[in-house]
Amino acid sequence: MYANQVGVNFGKGMTDPFVPALAIHLQATPAQLGWLQAFISLFPTVMQVPWGKLSDFLGRRIPFLVVGGVLSFAMYLFMLGAMNAGQLIMLVALQMFIGSMMTPAWSALVGDVTNPRNRGTIMGKFFAVSSVASLLATLFAGAVMPEGSGSVLSVYAIPFIIASASGIVGSLFLLRIKEGRRKMYASPRRIFAFSLRSFIFISDLTENIHFRNLVVLQSVFNLIMSLVWPLFYLTYIDVLGATLFEIAIMTVISTGATLFFQTRVGRLLDLIGPIPQILISRFTFISVPVAYALATQVWHIYAMNAALGLATAMSNVAFFSYILDVAPDEKKGEYFAVYNTMIGIATFIGSVVGGYLAVFFLDFYSQNMVLALGAVYAISAFGRGACALWFFKLKDPVEYPYTLRGLMRDWAKRQRARLGV
């Protein structure tokens, strides 16, 4: 499983940060970039519910991981043959659909082979090796890809071929794991009944007011956030003139800063709970579209990615913890699936709308890219600000030892005592 995580994440780190750049290389319009980001957001989240339930239904994990891994990483080879942005988007959509079977199957496999005494340690190691593999791959890909306006093959062939081979080999490593023998067969009637149950989850939104508020708030906020996601690479390439290696550095700084703060905010969460960190992260993310609208140099994006590491780390742990706080013990997995599905739908809609907004403003501002992107960034910034205020509505049913204000007051007292003031 460690070999699988290294191979799969090395492949993803080698290619995923550069797929939007490949789309721009193929003359993608802002609307097409919106559809590209929309499919990347939708399938990995929405399809987790049916794929995860199918894995449980058949009682097997390895077939989903191997088949999903081999087929999805093979798609990188087909992307090298894309003749236009539309073909690339369809290939990415197909890859996301196939690859989405891997996430719930992997989570279930981790649960199958660990126990409560070692699960946290092993998951931490998985996260560490996968993150390091992804960061190294991104740096390598950025370094080996030549700059300029050459053909797709001349620029992207090396990282995409290596990524495909790495992901396929990493997936095949899982064949060494022996699952319990169980016949993978079900009658057509049982499969039909299963397929209906897989998509029925609305009751989870109506029975728990805390969970409903979270899903509604996060769905709206993520829809507004995702308006600008398809436009980032237009800012990188068309406005700032960033090279592929500089785009790789942006990804490495963002991931590295988040990793640095991840354990620290986790310890803070144990003291004050998720609500303060949720609020801090939501208000901090208002600055993202503002920074992109005002950026004139690549290093401005570097600085922003480094500064956002704390807020991103807070967001990663706080929402996960809040769902655990509000979900019934017997339905925690289902609550996570529902949450991810609704966020996936929201970001799908936001990415598509954002792409078409950029097209509209390009026409409005006579193809002035800076003004057109700036208009969409302004809409996202104001929307994030209005929605962030709405997050004060969230309440946590679990009581934690400190409030943020109380913790800061105690820290100040200890500092004064230490200094003898």
Question: For residue 27, what is the domain's CATH number?
Answer: 1.20.1250.20
What is the reported pLDDT for 185? 47
Number of folded domains in the chain? 2
Confidence label for 117 from pLDDT (cuts 50, 70 and 90): low
Whether residues 325 and 227 fall in one domain: yes
Whether residues 35 and 57 fall in one domain: yes
Q: Is residue 399 part of a domain?
A: yes
Q: Is residue 119 part of a domain?
A: yes
Confidence label for 43 from pLDDT (cuts 50, 70 and 90): confident
Whether residues 240 and 195 fall in one domain: no
What average pLDDT does this structure show over 339-354?
91
Q: Is residue 419 part of a domain?
A: no
Confidence label for 410 from pLDDT (cuts 50, 70 and 90): confident
Whether residues 30 and 71 fall in one domain: yes
pLDDT (tens digit per residue) in 175-227: 988 876 555 444 545 544 544 454 445 555 567 788 889 999 999 999 999 99
Q: Which of 58, 67, 57 is nearest to 101 (CA)?
A: 67
Whether residues 112 and 212 fall in one domain: no
Whether residues 285 and 158 fall in one domain: no
Q: Is residue 418 part of a domain?
A: no
Query: Given a cut of 70, is residue 347 above it in pLDDT?
Result: yes
Whether residues 282 and 345 fall in one domain: yes
Query: Given a cut of 80, is residue 136 above it in pLDDT?
Result: yes
* Helix boundaries (H) for 152-208: 152-172, 188-198, 203-206
What is the reported pLDDT for 352? 95
What is the reported pLDDT for 138? 92
Report how far residue 142's alpha carbon sits from residue 93's, in angstroms, rounded to the nearest whole number. 24
Whether residues 241 and 125 fall in one domain: no
Whether residues 193 and 205 fall in one domain: no
Residues of the domain holding 54: 1-179+186-200
Q: Show the tokens assigned to 298.
A: 């690549």
Whether residues 331 and 209 fall in one domain: yes
The CB-side HSE value for 382 (13 A sphere, CA atoms) comes to 5
What is the reported pLDDT for 196? 47
Q: Is residue 215 part of a domain?
A: yes
Collect all residues with Cβ–Cβ distance below 8 Å to 264 and sequence separation of at least 6: 313
Whether residues 354 and 235 fall in one domain: yes
